[in-house]
Amino acid sequence: MIGMPNELYWDSTREEVDAVFRQRADYDAAQNKAANLRAGLVAATLINIYRKPGARTVKPSDFVVQERQYMSPKEGRTFMDRWAATENADRTVRGKSK
């Protein structure tokens, strides 16, 4: 599974085995990203060959899902406060127009 002989696995500490698993996971993630970019290259090439004049050029990275970035709690609160203010303003305007 991780390419580690049984003897080495059983003689290793938990931290060493954990490090091997993390390294393998990083390697697998890099391999998957490379494979996705290669598939994206094929897709982008086909789309760009047959695209209409004036249409934007498609890049291989357009077909690769980007890692999701999460908001910090402070950013989340700011976002929700802005959203709530907009919603409240819209509801106030709709309520007055009735």
The residue-averaged pLDDT of 8-15 equals 89
**Looking at residues 59-73, what average pLDDT do you find?**
84
Is pLDDT above 80 for 66?
no
Please count the helices (runs of H) and the strands (runs of E) in the chain: 3, 0
3-class SS at 54? coil
pTM of the model: 0.51
CA distances from 35 to 8, 29, 41, 83 (A): 31, 10, 10, 39
**Are 2 and 24 a contacting pair, CB within 8 Å?**
yes
Read off the pLDDT band of 98 (50, 70, 90): low
